[in-house]
Amino acid sequence: GAVVSQHPSRVICKSGTSVKIECRSLDFQATTMFWYRQFPKKSLMLMATSNEGSKATYEQGVEKDKFLINHASLTLSTLTVTSAHPEDSSFYICSATGETTTDTQYFGPGTRLTVL
Amino acid sequence: AQKVTQAQTEISVVEKEDVTLDCVYETRDTTYYLFWYKQPPSGELVFLIRRNSFDEQNEISGRYSWNFQKSTSSFNFTITASQVVDSAVYFCALNLGELTFGTGTRLTIIP
């Protein structure tokens, strides 16, 4: 149980375009979803927290207009990187907690974004 | 403020050796959760264990064992009889509503 998927696993895009990453909880209802960013050989940095049906809470320094997060249902959250630039290239990982597992985050497999 | 320190950046051991990954945390709260996650080269974070602050009992799961000592604020992870498949980055994390990760320890098991 507690499986989280992400799509796509890898995406390459041109500078200035927008990219959408999906995060789904497959076998549980995700009351809260988290989006992290990880640079090579670094730890995970929390970008934002989202609860279903509410606006996301962004961490300090994360641009809300650049990283759009939507948590429209209890099984789906999306992260849209708008007007992507090469410095947005990174590994993006989502995680989710459920109603019965509020203290444990289960992570998706990650999405590697490369902006040319 | 909460903080997690994994002082060992990289460790290499020969297969079948035992290895211990250290984790020290800081928090003023009395109720919290500690975690270990494994991140293999594929990138996915795999949940290994969750321990709440009131349960200091050590845990063993196959070749994995965890030693939680509140007195020293440590939550160390030992792999016995290591295997090549154990090669990964291991993260210790502290949850006080928000998950704070350590910087990770890159473990390489040499065949």
pLDDT in tens, A87-111: 999 999 999 998 777 788 999 999 9
Nearest to A43 among B42, B43, B91 (CB): B91
Q: What confidence tier does A43 reach under pLDDT thresholds 50, 70, 90?
A: very high
C-alpha A11/C-alpha A20 separation (Å) is: 10
The chain A residue lying nearest B6, using CA atoms, is A43
The chain-wide mean pLDDT, for chain A, equals 93
- Local confidence band at B59 (pLDDT 50, 70, 90 cut-offs): confident
B32 Ramachandran zone, left/alpha/beta (phi>0; psi -120 to 50)? beta
Hunting for tokens 């990138």 — which residue is that? B43
* Closest B-chain CA to A95: B45
pLDDT computed for residue B96 by the predictor: 84
pLDDT tens string A49-79: 998 888 899 999 999 999 999 988 999 999 9
